[in-house]
Amino acid sequence: MADRPDESGIVPFLRAGSAPDRTRREGWQQWRGQRDLFIPASRLSLEEYAALSPRRRGLHDIHRTATHMNIGLLETPMSAKVTKLMRARLRNNALNFGPGTRDGLMISGGGYLGKTETACAAAAAFEDVWRDLHHQLLPPPVEGTRDLFVPVAYCRTPVRATPKGLCATILDFYGAPHPKTLNGLIRAVKDSLRDHRTTALLLDDITRLRLHREDDQDTLDLIRELMDLNVTLVLIGVNIPRSGLVRGGFADASTGQWIVPPIHASKSHNPAAATQTERRFDLVDLDPFDYDTSEGMTAFIEHLAGIEDRLRLFRAWPGMLTEGEMPEYLYRRTRGIVGLLKRLIEDGSSDAIESGTEMLTPEQLAAIPIRLGNLADRDPSEIPEIPTAEPLPAQPKPTARRRGRNTVFDDRGDRAAGGA
């Protein structure tokens, strides 16, 4: 069975240690290597489950819960569009050996739509291919570079961004020391990107930049400067077009790309920040599901079918999430936001196991609020408005029969009087 302990006594679905920190090189590599290794719980019938010992039943219940917590990010038509564009951009830029600026990519969307996971999954898939190609064609160390090959770097924009703070964040990914001066920090960042042969730099939470502050403007100028280092810059954030990051930019009608000039060139106190070179970005939105069109409804129901296939509830049935009123109910509860849907299904499945119902119904889910955890390190703009759980429409009560009038004392007129 999949939940049987191995020779070391460790159950395979349990995680040893803390979750990988993708903002560090070691954590990114750990996550990249383990991202598809989770083993879901085996499918058992109620009879097979009842035949297990109490200990094995308890382990299987924990494994089922872990399976529901690790459904993962299922591909949607929206995420497939982002993945296709990102993989093409990373591959094409990595194969461009000429000098000059590399076109970047902006991934925009609301909170809990899977922007980070979609971008990281696409970057990890690119790194798998790029590492394999590198080991085949350039197995020995390359002169003028470091032996440690780091094709992809993932960082999060500091909450209060400054050029020094951003440089420190990037250097922390590589585990590199921090020079004391700003010029030294910028030079160390450029050296790390070049020496480790990094071809993709992902900057998450980019809309933390508030461009009314001069430090934030200088930080954005520094980010654009990094595009001259043969690095594909991927900026990830909430509603980027309205954040001011593309202020002064315009969309090229022939290519659809955003052309973003420097914010300023003379007032910056960062001597290496602003340049006169225009930067080009493809801007792609990751939207929630649309339930107003037949294509959107079909895509949402197919997504529900993928989730349903991964559930391990004993009384589940084919169509539990895709038939009847359930799809419309789930859409009303989550507005098509995949992160909210995932949380509702997770909590509902846990309740179904604990209560013994072993199924999901609108009546059961109506009593489960959607609670979002891990909000301490999130920007307020990343937190979506959670729809209020609507009570299910009450079933129409049967119409009460009107009580008849007492007719005992009515004069019917057709009976003879008593004694006549």
Pairwise CA distance, residues 42 & 387, whole Å: 34
- SS3 of 278-315: CEEEEEEEECCCCCCCHHHHHHHHHHHHHHHHHCCCCC
Residue at 40 is within a domain = yes
Residue at 409 is within a domain = no
**Structural contact between residues 199 and 231, judged by C-beta atoms closer than 8 angstroms:** yes
Residue at 419 is within a domain = no
Question: For residue 404, what is the DSSP state?
Answer: P
Residue at 384 is within a domain = no
Residue at 19 is within a domain = no
Partner residues linked to 258 by β-bridges:
251, 281
Report CA-CA distances (Å) from 295 to 129, 282, 302, 321, 330: 33, 25, 11, 18, 17
Residue at 413 is within a domain = no
Pairwise CA distance, residues 307 & 72, whole Å: 9
pLDDT values of the chain reduced to their tens digit, one per residue, 420 residues: 445 544 444 466 677 678 899 999 999 999 999 998 888 999 999 999 999 999 999 999 999 999 999 988 899 999 999 999 999 999 999 998 888 788 899 999 988 899 999 999 999 999 999 999 988 876 666 666 666 899 999 999 998 889 999 999 999 999 999 999 999 999 999 999 999 999 999 999 998 887 777 888 888 888 888 888 889 999 999 988 777 776 656 666 666 676 766 655 444 444 444 444 567 888 899 999 999 999 999 999 999 999 999 999 999 999 999 999 999 999 999 999 999 999 999 999 999 999 999 999 999 999 999 887 655 566 666 677 777 666 555 444 444 444 455 554 455 555 444 443
- Residue numbers of the domain that contains 350: 25-75+290-374
Domain count, the chain: 2
Residue at 134 is within a domain = yes
Residues 140, 38 share a domain: no
Residues 86, 69 share a domain: no
**Structural contact between residues 173 and 153, judged by C-beta atoms closer than 8 angstroms:** yes
CATH number of the domain bearing residue 279: 3.40.50.300
Residues 308, 206 share a domain: no
Residue at 382 is within a domain = no
Residues 270, 341 share a domain: no
Residues 60, 164 share a domain: no
H runs (alpha helix) in 52-76:
54-69
